[in-house]
Structure 1
């Protein structure tokens, strides 16, 4: 670098110091971006409508010129249903993860701010949520109230909120102990401004990592409920819904099940890989 000017030397040092992103993370990001594009453009990409039937080509194998991934038991195009299923499954997963994160963070801030009785109530609810198998609770609610997309998203939004509540409470108490929250309070800031303008940005990275860990669990949970017939109901379809209806035809037309099952596995794996990488990058003890 002796022959380079000072700005060129600094630019070269920055290039050399750029962190190397593992290949697995790059592949995971590309897969997630592709899945998002498919979900947004499913209407334009899908060769057929969701409910169009071709009874002459029932249970056709992949490779058919008219149906690349074959057809199901009613002659519906598997590729088209797969594209629409990705949209519904991601909609449920994103909506539920967002509701869970917002609810848990708000309850965690309430527990950290009021302490005392309110804190004990929030912690008691968190302990109850953690001890109760959520799948059993979801089955009971859906069996009693029936299944709809709105109810399913709200119900899935109750999954994992206790993790965010514990994280938000602990980090908010830690922030208050560090002194900067007390200093802002002395300047006349309201509690909402302290928590959402100053504390929340400092703990956002931890909450984001938690969201990437809960997201694949929500996808798997929704797939399990749809597999049992209590998730997304026809004529809508989801990845778990496709797997559930295809289990009776696994021997005759395996692609009906293998296509959505592979998508579930790859999507959850990709989100988990990104979450693990973010956790390592944002963990101050790893630096």
Structure 2
């Protein structure tokens, strides 16, 4: 006779054993690529072979693989490798800064909605629904076309991408945490609301927010690349991955390496962050012991 009561315990053991398995190969590769990209961004000024605005008109549209220009040159004789290295730093700076702004704004509004409830909660939910319903690319194009494009403005504008996700997550988890014993006990001891939310509720929902950041980060990279591709993102002489793709499209048949090199980096970076984000979500899932 089968012991039915032992089945749930067996399932839990199998889930725990699955969770404790080694890190998958693709996740290791993803982490390695992210580490390489971050290292390149931090050391861009030291490892780039040439200045990004240095012309070499004798070697215009030079093929990749030569000793002087490993990844070839563009239509003005500028070194593609040097521009790619600096573009990685600018794109990561925009994505990292915008992700932090988005997470801060969304989490703050979510906490305010969970604490005050009533009218404040309805207002935050309404703003989140409005943000989710409006195509962000159209709004960004309108803002950049009216105010012009600069790096600080671009970072702040991209910081409003995806904040409604953090607001919904923070609001729902904060309401659930407030109903648990630890938050109520700290409140009864005389702790201020800010202390309760920052010292007790936020650490308990931080894993979910971090995973959401890993999922938003590649989307911001792609959004910045789209804006730069349309000519409203990073402006010359500064360069970004999307900026390089935008300028390289005119030479796709004659010099495809100008466009393919940054496109390859965008693809690998977004794919690596997405893979590691999915893995972190599984590892940090509180429903799995």
What's the TM-score bracket when you normalise by the shorter of the two chains?
over 0.9
In 2, the alpha carbon distance for the partners of 1:148 and 1:54 equals 28
1:106 to 105, 108, 117: 108
Q: Which runs of 5+ in 2 are unaligned?
A: 1-18
Q: Could you tell me which residue of structure 1 aligns to residue 283 of structure 2?
A: 281
Matches within 5 A, 1:43-58: 43-58=45-60
Q: Could you tell me which residue of structure 1 aligns to residue 15 of structure 2?
A: none
SS state of the match for residue 285, structure 1? Answer: coil
In 2, the alpha carbon distance for the partners of 1:226 and 1:170 equals 35
Q: Could you tell me which residue of structure 2 aligns to residue 212 of structure 1?
A: 214
In 2, the alpha carbon distance for the partners of 1:263 and 1:30 equals 14
Deviation at 1:286, TM superposition (A): 4.1
In 2, the alpha carbon distance for the partners of 1:229 and 1:87 equals 19
Q: Could you tell me which residue of structure 2 aligns to residue 115 of structure 1?
A: 117
User: In angstroms, what is the RMSD of aligned CA positions?
Assistant: 1.0
Q: Could you tell me which residue of structure 1 aligns to residue 91 of structure 2?
A: 89
In 1, the alpha carbon distance for the partners of 2:67 and 2:253 equals 22
Q: Could you tell me which residue of structure 2 aligns to residue 260 of structure 1?
A: 262
**4+ residue runs of structure 1 moved beyond 4 angstroms?**
none
Deviation at 1:18, TM superposition (A): 5.7
SS state of the match for residue 179, structure 2? Answer: helix
Q: Could you tell me which residue of structure 2 aligns to residue 63 of structure 1?
A: 65
In 2, the alpha carbon distance for the partners of 1:179 and 1:159 equals 34
Q: Which runs of 5+ in 1 are unaligned?
A: 1-16
Deviations 1:55-97 (A, max 9, x none): 1111111012100000001100000000000000000000000
In 1, the alpha carbon distance for the partners of 2:180 and 2:262 equals 49
Q: Could you tell me which residue of structure 1 aligns to residue 149 of structure 2?
A: 147
SS state of the match for residue 103, structure 1? Answer: helix
In 2, the alpha carbon distance for the partners of 1:240 and 1:94 equals 16
2:200 to 193, 198, 207: 198
In 2, the alpha carbon distance for the partners of 1:46 and 1:261 equals 19
State the number of aligned residues. 271
Q: In the alignment, does 2:283 pair up with 1:269?
A: no
